[in-house]
Structure 1
C-alpha cells in the first residue's frame, strides 16, 4: 500500500461521513474490510461459548454492523443523489455481497437462538423488551427458521431482489435524465418566466438554440400546468408517463420484465415463509392486520370520495368547454385546465403565490416553527457535502447538540426524483464510546427536488413544494427528536410502516395557518409578506379537486395491494391496473400511460404492499391535528404532549398506543374527511 495515500474516508470512525472525499475507488476496499469485521463479530457472538448477554452482543456485533451500515449508507446515498457511471458500477459491484451478508445475518440460526435466550431473561427494560420482540419477529421474516434448500433459495431471492430494485431505480433515473426537447419561445407561451430562463440557460450551456426542456419535475410540472401550446403539453406528458417502459426511448430501460420477476420472487419468498401471498408477509410488522382489511379501508374511502371526484371532473369539463373551447379534455390538458379553473374561481394562480415563497425565507420560517413547537433550534454549520448546494444544520436544545441534518433540496441530473428522508445514524447509547453513558446523536438526510433560482434570484417554491418540505421535515423530526437511545427502537426504527407517515403528514397542516404563512413568505422583489386576501383565496381553494386527488392515491394503493395479494398478478400487471382504474377512477388515463414502470415506491423503495400507509396514516395525522385545532395550534402543552407521546417515543410502544396516549381514544376518520372537504 502507498504510504502517502490518503486514508479511505469510508473507514473513518469520525462522527460524520466525509462525503466530499468519497471516490468510487474507495468503495470496494472499504466495504470488503467492514464486511470482514462484521462477519468476525458475528462469528464471535454466535460461538457456542459466547454468553447470551445483550450488552456483549451489542458491544461486539452492533458496533461492527453499525460501522458497515454507516459506510454502505453513505455509498447508497451518493448513488441516489450524485450518481455517476463510475459510482454506479462500484455500488452495483458490491451490492450482491452486502445483500448476502445482511440476508445471512437476518437468517442466522445461532444469532436467533441468542436473541430468544436473551428475551427470556428477567428484568429487561421496556425498550430492550420491545427491541427483542421486534428482532425475533424480523428473524422469522428473514428466514431464520428455514432449513436446507429453502434457506439457500431465500438468500438467492434477497440478492436478486436487491439487484432488480437497483436496476428499476437506475432505469427511471436514466430515462428521466436522458430525455430533452428544445422548445422555441413561442411554444413556451404561458410558462413562468423563471422556468423559461432556466430552460434557456440550460440550452446555452450546451451551445443549443431555444430552451431545453427535461422530464425533471421542476420543469415538467410548470410546462404541463401553464404552457398554452397543447402539442407541447402532449409531447412532455407522453414522454413522462412512458418512462422506463416498452413505449419509452430505449429498450434496455424497459422495466416490464423486471417488475414481473420482482413480483414472482416476492410471492415465492412469502410462500417459503408460510404465507399465502407477499401482502400477508408485508403486513406482519404493520398496524393493518390483513390484505382484506386494507382493501376494505381503501374501498370505503373510495366510495366516500367518488361523488366529490365526479363533481370535480364535471366542473373541469364544463369549464374547459365554456371558457377554453376545449370539448375533449385529454390527460395532458387536465393540469392546464385545472390551473385555469382555479385562477378563474379563486382569482389567483400558483405562479402568483410562488413569488412570495422564496426558499431562504421558507427555510427560516420552518426553523422558527420547529423552535416554537418543540424548543429546538436548527443552526447552519459547515460540513463535508457531495454538492455545493447542500446545507448542513445542527439541531440544538438549550445549547446542547441533539441531532444533525443534511438538506439537499435542488433537482439535478444524477439525482433520484422525488422527496425523502433517510437516516445517516440513529440515537444510540453506543457501548464503544470513550465516555461512559455518552450517546451517538441522530443524523438525517432531507432530500427534495426543487427548481434552482433564475437570474440571480433565490429559488421560488409553489405552495405544494412548501408542503413537501414540511412533510419531509416531519419525518426528520421523528428521527431526530427521539429520546430513546436503544438501537432498533429509537427514532423511526421499528415504527410500523403504516404509522411512519403520521409525523410527516401532521407537519403539512402548518402550511395552511395564516400565522405560519406570514413567517414563510417574502416577495422575491419587494420583500412584502403574502397578502391576507391572497391567503384567503388559497384557503378557499385548499380542497380544490380533493376528490380527484384522493381517488388517485387510492388507485395507486389498491393497485399495489392487489398486485402483492393476488396469485398470478405478475403476469397481468397492466390488466390489473386497468381493473383498478375501472373500479375507482372517474377519469382513467390513456391506454399508453405506463405509470407503474416508474412506481419506484413499490418496486425500489420499500413500500411494496404498503402504499396504502399514506391514506392510513392520514387518518391518524388528521385526528392528531384536530387536537391542535381544539387546543390551539401553538399551544405549548399540546406541542409538548405530541412530542412526548408520539415524536420522542421511537417504537418503544406500538403506534396505536402512542396515538391513544396523545389523543385519549382510538382514531376516527371524521377529521380527515372534514379537512379534505368531504364531510
Structure 2
C-alpha cells in the first residue's frame, strides 16, 4: 500500500490526511523523502546546462516537496501531541536531518553554481524578489560552511549534527519534567481559589486520572494558582517545581546539555571566522551586533527595575500585614500583585474571567481580521491530529486564501508555551501553494459541559499567535523561502505583538467580552478598569523578560561558559536582579534558546519588535482609529504580505516613514511618567 504521507493528498485544500496516518508511516516516509530530495539536489547540481536562476535557485525552491510534507506532519504532532514512539522518532530524525542539511550545503558542485550566479548577479536581469532569494541562498550556504574545506568542513557537519541531537534531548527532558509533576489538592487546599481555578484543577485531575483536583506545571493552571492561593506553603512547593524544570538531576537534567550546546555554538561561529556566536547570529538580524542589543535592553532595564522595586516595597508591607515576618519571595509576587491590583483598580481576575470565553475571543480575533483585511472564516470538518483541534477555511472576496487550525488546550502530550507554524507556506513559484497555518496554545481545558474561560494574559496570547498566523496567511510572494514569517528573528514578532493591541480596543471588548452564563456584555465600569490596569505589574513582567534576554545574550558573547548556571548567576548579580523576581526562563528550561537555534542569542527580539509594534499601532491611532482602512492596507502591503522578500528595516520604513525609538515602548509599558 502507498504510504499516506507520500501519496497525493485528495483532501480538502490538500490538508494532511491525519486519519490515515499512523506512527508506523513516519520512518519509511522520512527515509524515502530524504533520498528523493537528495536525488533532486544532485540533478540540479549536475545539470549540464550553464547555471541560471531558473535551473538552480528556482529549482532548489521546488525541491523537497515530499520531505516538506512528511516533516510538516511529523513536527506538528511531535510538538503538540507527543508519545514515546514520536519522541523516539524525533531522536532518530534529528541527526539525520542535520546530516542531510550538511550534505546539501557541502555539495561543492551545487555551491559552485550558486557562487557563479552570485558573481554575475548584476547581469542576470533578476526581479527584486529573485535577487533577494539569490542573495539569501548564497548567504545561507556561506554561513552554513559551504566555503569550508577538509577537516573544518567535516567538523562543521559533526557540530551541527550534535547540536540537533542536543536540542531534541533538551525539549524531551523538559516535556517529561512538565508531564510527570503534579500536586494533589485536598478540598481544604481549594479555599480562597476562584471557581475557574478550581474547575481547571479538577479538569487536570480528571485528565491525569486522579481522584481529585491537582495543580500541574501548565502555565494556564500554575500561574492562577500562584495568583490566588492563600496557602504560602503550597505556593512555594508549586513554584519551586515550576522553577526546577530541567534541573532535577537524573536523566532529564538539562544543565550539561546547555553547557555543551554553548560550547558547540561558539566552535561553529569560530569555524566561520566570527569572534563568538552572538556576532554570527546577529549579523543577519535587524539589530546587527550584540552591542546594539545590549544598549536596547539596558535602556529598558533601569526604569523597569526601578518600578519593580517600588512595587516590591508595597507588597512587602502587605506581607507583613498578613503576619509573615519574611522578605517577599518569588512564590509570593503574583499573590500580592493580585491583591494590589484589586486594591488599586478594584479589579478581580475571577470577576473578569467569565467574560473572556475562548470561543468569543476566537471570534473577536477573526472579526478584527475581517475589518482590517477583509478575511472570512468558515468552519471546516476535516480529520486533524487531535480531537481538540479545530479548522477553518479562510477566504477573501469569496476566494480561498488559507486553512487555519487552532489547537488551544493544554495536555500532557503537548510541550509548554504557545506557537504558530505553517504546515504549508504560501508560494507562487515553481508551483502555487496556499498556506495551512496552525496556532497551538496551552489554555486550561474546562470540565465536561463548561465553557473554556481565559485569563487576560491567555486572551493576549491568542491574539499574539493569531498575528503570526496573519503574517503567514496574508503572504503574497513568489517563493516559499521568503514567505510569511521567513524574516529576521527580531522582525518576526512585530505582526504578532502588534495584533495584541486589538484586544485592548474598547469596541472589541464591548462586543466580544460577554458573560459565560448570562451572555451580558462586560459592564463599562469593569471594561474601564481592565483598560486602566493594562500596564499594571509591568515592572515585574519587564524585569523577568529582560533578565532572560540579557543572560541569553551574555551566554553567546565571548567565550562559552563551562558552567552556564554560574554564568547566569553572575549576569543576574551584575544587573542587580531583584531577589523576589526570577528569570522568565531559567537556563535548564529556556527552550527558546536551547531547544534549537531559533531564538539563541535572539530572545531580545520580542522587545526589539515591541519598539516597532508600539509605534505601528500609534500609526492607526494617528490616522483616526484602530480600524483605519488606509493604515491597514499599508500594513498588509508593506509588512504582512511581503515576508522576507525585502530587508526588514526597509519594509518598516515603507510602512511608517521612519524607524522608531524606544520611547513608545517605555510609554506603552507605563515605565515613564
Q: Quickly name the TM-score band, shorter chain normalised.
A: over 0.9
Contact 2:312/2:328 (8 A) holds in 1: no
Q: How far did 1:326 drift?
A: 6.0
Q: How far did 1:590 drift?
A: 8.4
* Deviations 1:542-576, CA, capped at 9 Å, x for gaps: 1112122112211011100000112142x131222
Question: Where does residue 179 of structure 1 map in the other structure?
Answer: 181
CA distance in 1, matches of 2:551, 2:584: 15
1:596-607 alignment runs, 5 A limit = 596-605=587-596, 606-607=598-599
* Deviations 1:161-215, CA, capped at 9 Å, x for gaps: 0110000000000000011221101112122323323433554666644322211
Question: Where does residue 578 of structure 1 map in the other structure?
Answer: 569
Give yes or no for the alignment of 1:488 onto 2:481.
yes
CA distance in 2, matches of 1:483, 1:210: 51
Cα 1:330–1:665 change in 2 (3 A) is same
CA distance in 2, matches of 1:466, 1:201: 20
1:194-593 alignment runs, 5 A limit = 194-203=196-205, 208-245=210-247, 248=248, 251-322=250-321, 327-431=326-430, 433=431, 439-493=432-486, 495-569=487-561, 571-588=562-579
Q: How far did 1:92 drift?
A: 2.0
Contact 2:544/2:584 (8 A) holds in 1: no
Contact 1:34/1:64 (8 A) holds in 2: no
Question: Where does residue 10 of structure 1 map in the other structure?
Answer: 5
How many residues are aligned here?
663
Q: How far did 1:626 drift?
A: 0.8
Contact 1:103/1:155 (8 A) holds in 2: yes
Question: Where does residue 436 of structure 1 map in the other structure?
Answer: none
Q: SS of 2:117's equivalent?
A: helix
Cα 1:205–1:55 change in 2 (3 A) is closer
Q: SS of 2:491's equivalent?
A: coil
Cα 1:397–1:590 change in 2 (3 A) is closer
Cα 1:186–1:73 change in 2 (3 A) is same
* Deviations 1:483-505, CA, capped at 9 Å, x for gaps: 11222122122x11111111111
Question: Where does residue 38 of structure 2 map in the other structure?
Answer: 39
CA distance in 1, matches of 2:495, 2:380: 26
Contact 1:551/1:585 (8 A) holds in 2: no
Q: SS of 1:468's equivalent?
A: helix
CA distance in 2, matches of 1:521, 1:449: 20
Contact 2:545/2:583 (8 A) holds in 1: no
CA distance in 2, matches of 1:168, 1:307: 35
- Report the TM-score when normalising by structure 1: 0.94
Cα 1:548–1:318 change in 2 (3 A) is same
Greater shift after overlay, 644-653 or 104-113? 104-113
Greater shift after overlay, 271-280 or 198-207? 198-207
Greater shift after overlay, 169-178 or 26-35? 26-35
Contact 1:356/1:521 (8 A) holds in 2: yes
Q: How far did 1:89 drift?
A: 1.4
Contact 1:408/1:448 (8 A) holds in 2: yes
CA distance in 1, matches of 2:382, 2:211: 39
Decide which of 141, 157, 160 is 2:159's aligned counterpart. Answer: 157
Decide which of 653, 663, 667 is 1:674's aligned counterpart. Answer: 667
Q: SS of 1:377's equivalent?
A: strand
* Deviations 1:72-95, CA, capped at 9 Å, x for gaps: 121112111111111211232232
Q: SS of 1:441's equivalent?
A: coil
Q: SS of 1:500's equivalent?
A: helix
CA distance in 2, matches of 1:422, 1:134: 21
Q: SS of 2:437's equivalent?
A: strand
Cα 1:59–1:608 change in 2 (3 A) is closer
Q: How far did 1:587 drift?
A: 1.7
CA distance in 1, matches of 2:17, 2:460: 31
Contact 1:242/1:594 (8 A) holds in 2: no
Question: Where does residue 138 of structure 2 map in the other structure?
Answer: 136
CA distance in 1, matches of 2:16, 2:567: 44
Q: How far did 1:584 drift?
A: 3.2
CA distance in 1, matches of 2:457, 2:576: 23
Q: How far did 1:385 drift?
A: 0.6
CA distance in 2, matches of 1:72, 1:423: 11
Q: How far did 1:320 drift?
A: 2.8
Contact 2:61/2:479 (8 A) holds in 1: no
Contact 1:73/1:424 (8 A) holds in 2: yes
CA distance in 1, matches of 2:262, 2:372: 43
CA distance in 2, matches of 1:646, 1:619: 15
CA distance in 2, matches of 1:592, 1:622: 24
Cα 1:19–1:51 change in 2 (3 A) is farther
Q: SS of 2:63's equivalent?
A: helix
* Deviations 1:255-291, CA, capped at 9 Å, x for gaps: 0111111111101100100011011110121111211
Cα 1:284–1:19 change in 2 (3 A) is farther
Q: How far did 1:381 drift?
A: 0.7
Q: How far did 1:325 drift?
A: 5.3
Contact 1:203/1:209 (8 A) holds in 2: yes
Q: How far did 1:481 drift?
A: 0.3
Unmatched runs of 5 consecutive residues or more in structure 1: 434-438
Q: How far did 1:349 drift?
A: 1.4
Q: SS of 1:469's equivalent?
A: helix
CA distance in 1, matches of 2:543, 2:582: 18
Contact 2:330/2:582 (8 A) holds in 1: no
CA distance in 2, matches of 1:204, 1:171: 24
Cα 1:50–1:350 change in 2 (3 A) is farther
CA distance in 1, matches of 2:70, 2:448: 38
Give yes or no for the alignment of 1:611 onto 2:603.
yes
Q: SS of 2:379's equivalent?
A: strand
Cα 1:202–1:538 change in 2 (3 A) is closer
Contact 2:44/2:56 (8 A) holds in 1: yes
Q: SS of 1:423's equivalent?
A: strand
Q: SS of 1:219's equivalent?
A: helix
CA distance in 2, matches of 1:160, 1:73: 22
- Report the TM-score when normalising by structure 2: 0.95
Contact 1:502/1:618 (8 A) holds in 2: yes
Contact 2:269/2:276 (8 A) holds in 1: yes
Decide which of 617, 628, 639 is 1:635's aligned counterpart. Answer: 628
Q: How far did 1:135 drift?
A: 1.0
**RMSD over aligned Cα atoms:** 2.0
